[in-house]
Amino acid sequence: MAGYDYDLFVIGGGSGGVRAARVAASLGKRVAIAEEYRYGGTCVIRGCVPKKLYVYASQFPEHFTDAAGYGWTVPEASFDWSTLVANKDKEIARLEAIYKRNVEGAGGETFHSRAVLVDRHAVYLTAEDRTVTADQILIATGGRPAPHPALSGHEYCIFSNEAFDLKQLPKAIMIEGGGYIAVEFANIFHGLGVETTLVYRGQEILSRFDTDLRRSLHETMEKKGIRILCHAVSEWVRKNPDGRLDVLLSGGQTLTVDQVMLAIGRIPNTENMGLEGVGVELGKTGAIVVDQYSRTNIDNIWAIGDVTHRVQLTPVAIYEAMCFIETAFKGNPTAPDHDTIATAVFSQPEIGTVGLSEDEAVKRFPDIEVYRASFRPMRHTLSGRDEKMLMKLVVNGASRKVLGAHILGPDAGEMAQLLGIPLKAGLTKDDFDRTMAVHPTAAEELVTMYKPTYRVKNGERV
């Protein structure tokens, strides 16, 4: 080990890479990390963090309206996009500095450079024009929005990266895709006053979620004024002389908008990094293939986070980083457990979910109990907002184990985090039933739905 410059070299300064570098350095390892763009990675710079800030920004018009029922008179509000962008920039610059400082504070060395593998122990730093060596190498280069070269006029389209920093807020936008990003941004743009159309190729948005939530969210978004076109894709995008864009949809309809945003998934960043030369195995999508411990086919090279295409979520990358540290530096081989991951979609209303959807549960178990409550949350009583909250528990009738918990409504993401614990622990519906409610909350419904709304036996609803 002493023959190398470092014990660990990390490529990629996002959530996963920074966590691994910081913790390894704090263990006394000689650590360096290279980031070619900005420390913090997708999550901090152009993902979760700015997205959530924009979600907050986009919710104010509804708060202003809702305030009337509580006795408030709010003068006519106006919105300045450039103030939001500038304040967001300030906040992410602050976080970026913290990310970098955390590694350095733990004793790690940070480089601002692209890093390319030269051999299994050597990395070339392009900005420094030199090669350094390391005993262990961790690749955490993340991913980027999937391009859409088959779409004629794709060069006129933007992705989530650009959406954060548009020079001006469009009057009308079309968003293609029905996943997390498309749905979250449709709500953000709509909330900020943009005429928004969501175009999704499938039958219902958010294909990986519980059908009840998908339908209810769809209805609520449409009620707010977001146009959702399912079973549709764009055929071409053309630019008009005035700069606006025409989009032809598969059904023959044409839309004219100021921006077209593509949110059709994300792909791993594995090109031009020397991976092929060193012989690191890549999968069909270009993602790095790893074993259960995040080790590639080259035994001193590891990979975590979105570059491995397991589950594309920040906390998963961080968890994989912690498991990597246990395995590589603490002599305690630890495989990240990707089962039962709680997640939220910051749509409006929010989705919070953990475990199996009803459809998945029905496929796996012969006897399923569904507990379902749909109600107007208390905050919408005086406001008069016509929006329902939906809560659903999916229970294995035989074992009583709660298999899935699904929420649509205010603070659903916060609730999903807490529901992640009992579901991960494998608790039963009886454990939920003997838990005292917290009153008055919306979440109390989760422990007061005593009777199943229906059962599904061998695929038949009874």
Residue 178 engages ligand NDP in binding (rule: CB under 6 A): yes
Instruction: Kindly state the smallest distance separating residue 209's Cβ from ligand NDP, in Å.
Output: 10
Give the residue with the Cβ less far from ligand NDP, 190 or 266: 266
Residue 202 engages ligand NDP in binding (rule: CB under 6 A): yes
Active-site residue, selected from the candidate residues 121, 148, 231, 439: 439
Instruction: Kindly state the smallest distance separating residue 145's Cβ from ligand NDP, in Å.
Output: 7
Using CB under 6 A, which of 32, 344, 354, 368 touches ligand NDP?
A: 344
Tokens 């309206």 belong to: 65
Q: Which of residues 238-277 bind ligand NDP (CB under 6 A)?
A: 263-266
Residue 179 engages ligand NDP in binding (rule: CB under 6 A): yes
Residue 181 engages ligand NDP in binding (rule: CB under 6 A): yes
Contact status, residue 14 vs residue 307, Cβ threshold 8 Å: no
Q: Which of 35, 262, 269 is nearest to 162 (CA)?
A: 262
Sketch the per residue contact string, 137 through 176, with ligand NDP: x for CB under 6 A, - otherwise.
Answer: ---------------------------------------x
Distance, in Å, from the CA atom of 355 to the CA atom of 341, rounded to the nearest integer, reads: 7
Residue 182 engages ligand NDP in binding (rule: CB under 6 A): yes
Task: Write down the H helix ranges in 3-78.
Answer: 15-26, 41-46, 48-67
Tokens 């009840």 belong to: 212
Which stretch of DSSP H or E encloses residue 221? helix 211-224
Residue 312 engages ligand NDP in binding (rule: CB under 6 A): yes
Tokens of 389: 């909250």
Contact status, residue 348 vs residue 187, Cβ threshold 8 Å: yes
Q: Which of 420, 425, 372, 421 is nearest to 395 (CA)?
A: 372
Distance, in Å, from the CA atom of 444 to the CA atom of 417, rounded to the nearest integer, reads: 15
Give the residue with the Cβ less far from ligand NDP, 99 or 346: 346
Residue type, 36: E
Instruction: Kindly state the smallest distance separating residue 220's Cβ from ligand NDP, in Å.
Output: 17
Using CB under 6 A, which of 82, 161, 207, 253 touches ligand NDP?
A: 207
| Catalytic residue check, 439 | yes
Give the number of other CB atoms < 10 A from CB of residue 291. 11
Instruction: Kindly state the smallest distance separating residue 48's Cβ from ligand NDP, in Å.
Output: 6
Phi, psi angles (nearest 5°) of residue 35: -135, 130
Stretch that binds ligand NDP, among 118-126, 201-209, 277-285, 355-363 (CB under 6 A): 201-209
Q: Which of 96, 86, 88 is nearest to 40 (CA)?
A: 96
Give the residue with the Cβ less far from ligand NDP, 112 or 154: 154
Residue 14 engages ligand NDP in binding (rule: CB under 6 A): no
Residue 317 engages ligand NDP in binding (rule: CB under 6 A): no
| Helix pair 81-105, 15-26: axis angle to 10 deg | 30
Instruction: Kindly state the smallest distance separating residue 262's Cβ from ligand NDP, in Å.
Output: 8
CA 42 to the chain's CA centroid: 10
Distance, in Å, from the CA atom of 105 to the CA atom of 124, rounded to the nearest integer, reads: 24
Give the residue with the Cβ less far from ligand NDP, 134 or 206: 206
Instruction: Identify the sign of the CA torsion 419, 423, 428, 431.
Output: negative
Using CB under 6 A, which of 180, 189, 302, 365 touches ligand NDP?
A: 180
Instruction: Kindly state the smallest distance separating residue 352's Cβ from ligand NDP, in Å.
Output: 10
Using CB under 6 A, which of 345, 412, 423, 446 touches ligand NDP?
A: 345
Q: Which of residues 430-449 bind ligand NDP (CB under 6 A)?
A: none
Instruction: Kindly state the smallest distance separating residue 278's Cβ from ligand NDP, in Å.
Output: 28
Contact status, residue 317 vs residue 347, Cβ threshold 8 Å: no
Residue type, 446: L
Tokens of 137: 């190498």
Binding site for ligand NDP (CB under 6 A): 176-182, 184, 200-202, 207, 233, 263-266, 312-313, 343-346
Residue numbers annotated as active site: 439
